[in-house]
């Protein structure tokens, strides 16, 4: 039963990391990961669940159970090379948004401020354990930037976590983060982020640029509104 539980979560984590690897490849080739997802999802042997590319997975289960399986395998003299690759791919994916931001604004982000929407590792929870948002925030601050972040539920947790850190402000609402920010990064796919007031966003941001770690918007639509749009694995 224990092995089955670990194996189930590890399988789902593998699907996520696989799609993230495919998204990065699709982007390099000029393909669209959404078209790839729809194509392979029609195969009943694969199905449509856990096939969404993004900024990596976190939480208390998937990363922990992938690590646990590796330890179990090592103790049994059966190293699980696939699980090691899944973990490495997921950790690398958490840096993708930060990499896109630095590619656009430069490696030195001193004097810049970025809005971050979403802190929890997934919607409908305040759990920030292993959350991709933490990696993004760390990458931005390490490059000299400051961060204004908002999460509908995890704000209280975040204020405790970042207490005393002057490089990050936890805002009371999504719009507040945009004021005086150079760009917006979306890390958690909360429902309230799916249909924002784009006109207000554009007027508040210094640069009308969205780095979308969850592919919430249609690229053509957002760009037609005058935004620079940087999704994961979508056509540029």
Residues marked active site are found at: 61
Of residues 111, 157, 109, 166, the one with CA closest to residue 134: 157
What would the two tokens of residue 32 be? 């669209």
Integer Cα distance of 57 and 47 in angstroms: 19
Integer Cα distance of 48 and 50 in angstroms: 7
DSSP assigned state of 205: S
Residue 21, number of CB atoms within 10 A of its CB: 18
For 214, the 3-state DSSP assignment is coil
For 68, the 3-state DSSP assignment is helix
Q: How far apart are the first and last CA of the chain?
A: 45
Integer Cα distance of 141 and 102 in angstroms: 12
| Sequence-distant (≥ 6) Cβ neighbours of residue 77 within 8 angstroms | none
Of residues 210, 181, 165, 188, the one with CA closest to residue 109: 181
């Amino acid at each position: 039963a224990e092995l089955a539980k670990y194996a189930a979560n590890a399988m789902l984590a593998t699907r996520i990391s696989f799609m993230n690897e495919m998204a990065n490849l699709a982007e390099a080739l000029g393909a669209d990961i959404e078209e790839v997802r729809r194509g392979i999802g029609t195969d009943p042997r694969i199905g449509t669940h856990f096939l969404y590319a993004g900024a990596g997975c976190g939480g208390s289960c998937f990363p922990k159970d992938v690590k646990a399986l590796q330890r179990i395998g090592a103790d049994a003299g059966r190293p699980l090379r696939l699980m090691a690759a899944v973990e490495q791919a997921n950790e690398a994916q958490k840096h993708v948004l930060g990499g896109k931001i630095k590619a656009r604004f430069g490696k030195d982000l001193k004097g810049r401020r970025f809005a971050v929407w979403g802190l929890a590792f997934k919607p409908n929870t305040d759990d920030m354990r292993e959350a991709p948002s933490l990696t993004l925030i760390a990458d931005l601050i390490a490059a000299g930037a400051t961060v204004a972040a908002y999460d509908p539920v995890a704000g209280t947790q975040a204020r405790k976590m970042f207490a005393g850190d002057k490089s990050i402000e936890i805002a009371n609402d999504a719009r507040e983060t945009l004021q005086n920010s150079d760009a917006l990064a979306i890390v958690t796919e909360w429902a309230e982020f799916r249909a924002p007031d784009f006109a207000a966003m554009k007027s508040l941001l210094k640069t009308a640029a969205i780095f979308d770690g969850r592919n919430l918007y249609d690229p053509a639509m957002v760009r037609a509104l005058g935004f620079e749009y940087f999704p994961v694995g979508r056509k540029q």
